Amino acid sequence: MQDVIRSFYRGLMPNMIGNSVSWALYFMWYGNIKDLVRSARGSGSQLNSSDYFLASGMSGILTAVFTNPIWVIKTRMLSTARNAPGAYRSIAHGSYELYRTEGVRGFYRGLLPSLFGVSHGAIQFMAYEQLKNKWALKRKGGQAGLTNFDFLYLSAASKMFAGSITYPYQVVRARLQLYDARERYKGAMDVVRQVFQREGVTGFYKGLGPNIIRVLPSTCVTFLVYENMKFYLPRMWQGNDFEEQPEAAK
């Protein structure tokens, strides 16, 4: 019984580390790149859809390069039973075995489709920012009038929109990161060919529903925390009072 319960949490640690590091790096680069674009366009200028797409795309590329090793280990931990031959017992054990058997290149298996998958974050953030700008027009006080519920709704809508468009790349990436990927596939295009031949177009969307259900809660919470921290942290550092708080902070 204990093994059954533990199996539900297999891969939890690399998933937590991967998501935490990924979001932290992503938001850091995203904010900095937006500031650079805004400075280049002139102070006070409004960013457009292409600006958001550029900022999120570049942030996604940088994040993918830094975090790909974590996702390789996570994928392999989830794709095998704990007691299976060659299974990774932990992140440290997985890192050691991966380096021992495949070298540094092993940590970057699936990186190419991950880079193509940057479009997911780019589309999501472009949709989120545009939805937020339009939604703010309906609120008294503009963006300062947006509530926590608004952030939850907008982040969920943008995530589902982006996920529905870009999910096939996740299927390709996951299959390239399996233990036996080197024996089964010759590369990303070979994965595409085999999936299409054996499963048709629907093969590229296998698991889309459960995936959206799985990622929506964490995505919504992440955006909610991000928006609130974006409001609170500057005021904490500057020692400002909180007498005029936006609705999002209430």
- Whole-number Å distance between alpha carbons of 29 and 35: 10
* Block residue for tokens 């949709």: 127
Mean pLDDT of 104-132: 86
pLDDT the model gives residue 46: 79
pLDDT the model gives residue 176: 79
Q: Give me the domains of the chain, ranges plus CATH numbers.
A: 2-249 (1.50.40.10)
Span 16-46, pLDDT tens digits? 888 788 888 998 999 899 989 888 887 667 7
Span 181-224, pLDDT tens digits? 777 888 788 888 998 998 898 888 888 888 888 889 988 998 99
| DSSP code per residue over the chain | -HHHHHHHTTTHHHHHHHHHHHHHHHHHHHHHHHHHHHHHH-TTPPP-HHHHHHHHHHHHHHHHHHHHHHHHHHHHHHTS-TTSTT---SHHHHHHHHHHHH-GGGGGTTHHHHHHTHHHHHHHHHHHHHHHHHHHTTSTTGGGG--HHHHHHHHHHHHHHHHHHHHHHHHHHHHHTSTTHHHH-SSHHHHHHHHHHHH-GGGGGTTHHHHHHHHHHHHHHHHHHHHHHHHHHHHHHHT---SS--GGG-
Q: Supply the pTM of this predicted model.
A: 0.66
Which residues have CB under 8 Å from 121's CB, separation 6+?
Answer: 26, 56, 57, 59, 60, 63, 162
pLDDT the model gives residue 173: 79
Span 54-68, pLDDT tens digits? 999 999 999 999 989
